[in-house]
């Protein structure tokens, strides 16, 4: 997908935003009641604020509040994980240490014969399309954790590998929420009655086998090493004009943010848009996901023009250092990657640049600074603070 295609998809969804609050939980063939913009927002071909602006330019705040709120759920999850990065590290460690029995049990339920036909249907939709509706993600994760009693980490990893919008924060934390680890005493169970209410009959009626197992679901209580982790201050990143020595600063764009601000572009002598195949392979991304990211990165480089290079590499640290050195850069500027695969790679990248005498300077967009440290507790506390602090939302509420 390209940025222009994402913007077109957003424009086409505008007339449907008005029905979103009422319609969003229904799972229907083609998913016409939701925007399907998540891969574009996840990789920042378009931003949360652009989606919000499109909603607020066309409707009053009260008419689209639910939609706008959902858009900032992603920011909430990101902020929450930025403040508690140890949750991501613990998840990655658990995955690395997963016993082979659990992995075999997971493979068995994914063989298409799990015993619950609607689960098999969603598993197939995930793998063949790279998308599942939010409600289907909730049902799938609940069946995985509470009915099949499989480790949530393996389910989260499966989603991360196949979803085109695979997002370390939204995904890991949603799985933890379903499992009952996010909010003490609260978990999510998939009930047959809820599926009957929200899933289109033409889908459900041809996948009824095993549905009775969800008539009276019971919660499994997965083990956890931590109780609710307390929030830490978010690490400061560098900022300011001093980063840009006009002759020698270049911009590295990575897949956490493919939409650079015009000012930062203008001041960078060269731009590298790097697709990190090493990370894709170490995290087991499915080919559909890898191709999506590659196309988005390519379109970003093309849109920037001659000073941008698209680099596809199996060794991001080496590729970045080679690129910076070949252009005589003294500084590489990059948007601070969110907690997740690229962030984990930063120490190696910094070291690789340092050995060539090149500095890596990380920056954040002003719009991200608004919400980055607001997730001190639950979503609604975050939302209240966001409404006060976010200029776009504050202005809309004041004029509403
Ligand atoms: C178990 C589980 C795993 C998930 N994994 C991911 C993931 O890896 N990546 C991901 O982007 N989302 C994830 N979500 C959140 C949500 O399901 C998707 O963002 C949403 O379904 C994307 O479809 P859409 O673009 O049509 O959403 P729409 O309903 O059109 O919503 C508009 C936008 O709001 C944001 N949004 C909506 N709902 C949520 C939500 N619950 N949490 C966070 N942001 C939301 C997305 O950016 C979305 O594009 C997960 C949810 C669950 C329950």
pLDDT tens-digit map of 110-128: 999 999 999 999 999 999 9
> Which ligand 1 atom lies nearest to the CA of residue 175?
1
312 Cα–ligand 1 center, Å: 28
Given ligand 1 and candidates 67, 70, 119, which is best to mutate, with the most ligand atoms within 8 Å of its CB? 70
Pairing outcome for strands 308-313 and 249-253:
unpaired
CB of 284 closer than 8 Å to CB of 264: no
Cα–Cα distance list, 383 to 64, 65, 75, 289, 378 (Å): 15, 11, 10, 31, 9
Residue nearest ligand 1's atom 21 by CA: 134
Average pLDDT, the chain: 94
Contact between residue 224 and residue 184 where contact means Cβ atoms under 8 Å apart: no
CA 159 to centroid of ligand 1, rounded, Å: 12
Question: Which string of DSSP letters, residue by residue, matches 75-118?
Answer: HHHHHHHHH-THHHHHHHHHHHT--HHHHHHHHHHTTT-SS-HH
Pick the atom of ligand 1 nearest to 38's CA. 49
Pocket residue to mutate for ligand 1, from 7, 19, 38, 167, most atoms within 8 A of Cβ:
38
Q: What is the pLDDT of residue 236?
A: 82
The CATH homologous superfamily for domain 86-214 is DNA Cyclobutane Dipyrimidine Photolyase, subunit A, domain 3 (1.10.579.10)
What residues have CB less than 8 Å from 154, skipping those under 6 apart?
A: 95, 98, 102, 103, 106
pTM of the model: 0.96
Q: Calculate how far, in angstroms, residue 134's C-alpha sits from the geometric centre of ligand 1.
A: 6
Asked if 25 and 138 count as a contact pair (C-beta separation under 8 A), the reply is no
Arithmetic mean of pLDDT, 199-212: 97
Give the mean pLDDT of 357-367. Answer: 94
Specify the range with the lowest mean pLDDT, choosing from 61-75, 122-136, 159-173, 219-233: 219-233
* Closest C-alpha residue for ligand 1 atom 29: 34
Give 251 or 391, the one with higher predicted confidence: 251
Fold assignment, 241-363: Rossmann fold (3.40.50)
294-316 pLDDT per residue, tens: 999 999 999 999 999 999 999 99
**What is the pLDDT at residue 398?**
72
The rounded Å distance from CA 37 to ligand 1 centre is: 9
pLDDT for position 94: 95
Entry field: residues in the chain: 400
**pLDDT value of position 397:** 73
Q: What is the pLDDT of residue 237?
A: 85
- Output the DSSP codes for 258-281: ----HHHHHH-SEEEEEEEHHHHH
Q: From the CA of 73, how far away is ligand 1's center (Å)?
A: 8
Q: Which helix (H) or strand (E) holds 123?
A: helix 117-129
| pLDDT band with cut points at 50, 70 and 90 for residue 145 | very high
Query: What are the backbone dihedrals phi and psi of residue 27, each rounded to the nearest 5 degrees, phi first?
Result: -105, 110
Q: For residues 160 and 168, is the Cβ–Cβ distance under 8 A?
A: yes
Alpha carbon dihedral 254, 259, 260, 262, in 10-degree steps, equals 160
Pairwise CA distance, residues 76 & 83, whole Å: 11
Nearby residues of 188 by Cβ (< 8 Å), 6 or more positions away: 138, 141, 142, 177, 178, 180
Q: Give the domain ranges of the chain.
A: 86-214, 241-363
Q: How much distance in Å is there from the Cα of 84 to the middle of ligand 1? A: 20
**Cα of 254 to ligand 1 centre, how many Å?**
21
Q: Using the mean position of ligand 1's atoms as its centre, give its distance from the Cα of residue 172 in Å.
A: 12
Residues in the ligand 1 pocket, defined by CB under 6 Å: 24, 34-38, 41-42, 70-71, 73-74, 77, 133-134, 137-138, 141, 159, 163, 165-167, 170-171, 174-175, 178
The vertex-49 CA angle with 62 and 5, nearest 5°, equals 110
Task: Check pLDDT > 80 for residue 354.
Answer: yes
At a CB cut-off of 8 Å and minimum separation 6, what does 121 contact?
203, 207
In three-state secondary structure terms, 47 is: coil
């Amino acid at each position: 997908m390209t940025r222009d295609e994402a913007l077109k998809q957003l424009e086409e969804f505008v007339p449907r935003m008005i029905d979103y609050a009422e319609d969003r939980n229904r799972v229907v063939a083609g998913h016409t009641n939701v925007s399907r913009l998540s891969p574009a927002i996840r990789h920042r071909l378009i931003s949360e604020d652009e989606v919000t602006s499109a909603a607020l330019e066309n409707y009053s705040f009260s008419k689209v509040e639910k939609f706008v709120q959902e858009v900032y759920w992603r920011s909430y999850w990101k902020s929450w994980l930025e403040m508690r990065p140890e949750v991501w590290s613990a998840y990655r460690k658990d995955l690395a240490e997963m016993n082979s029995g659990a992995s075999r049990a997971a493979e068995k339920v994914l063989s298409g014969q799990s015993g619950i036909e609607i689960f098999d249907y969603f598993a197939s939709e995930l793998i063949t399309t790279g998308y599942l509706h939010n409600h289907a993600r909730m049902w799938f994760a609940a069946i995985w954790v509470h009915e099949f009693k499989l480790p949530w980490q393996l389910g989260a990893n499966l989603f991360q590998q196949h979803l085109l919008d695979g997002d370390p924060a939204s995904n890991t934390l949603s799985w933890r929420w379903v499992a009952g680890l996010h909010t003490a005493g609260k978990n999510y169970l998939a009930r047959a009655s809820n599926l009957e209410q929200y899933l289109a009959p033409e889908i459900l009626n041809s996948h009824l086998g095993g549905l009775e197992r969800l008539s009276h679901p019971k919660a499994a209580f997965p083990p956890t090493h931590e109780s609710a982790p307390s929030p830490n201050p978010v690490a400061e990143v560098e900022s300011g004009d001093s980063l840009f020595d006009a002759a020698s600063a270049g911009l590295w764009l990575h897949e956490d943010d493919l939409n650079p601000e015009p000012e930062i572009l203008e001041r960078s002598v060269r731009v590298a848009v790097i697709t990190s195949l090493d990370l894709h392979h170490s995290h087991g991304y499915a080919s559909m996901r890898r191709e999506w990211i590659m196309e988005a990165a390519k379109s970003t480089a093309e849109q920037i023009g001659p000073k941008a290079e698209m680099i596809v590499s199996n060794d991001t640290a080496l590729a970045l250092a080679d690129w910076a050195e070949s252009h005589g850069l003294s500084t590489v500027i990059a948007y601070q990657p969110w907690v997740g695969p690229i962030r984990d790679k930063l120490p190696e990248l910094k070291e690789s640049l340092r050995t060539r005498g090149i500095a890596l300077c990380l920056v954040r967009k002003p719009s991200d600074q608004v919400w980055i440290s607001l997730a001190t507790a639950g979503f609604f506390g975050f939302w209240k603070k966001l409404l006060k602090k976010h200029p776009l939302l504050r202005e809309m509420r004041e004029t509403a």
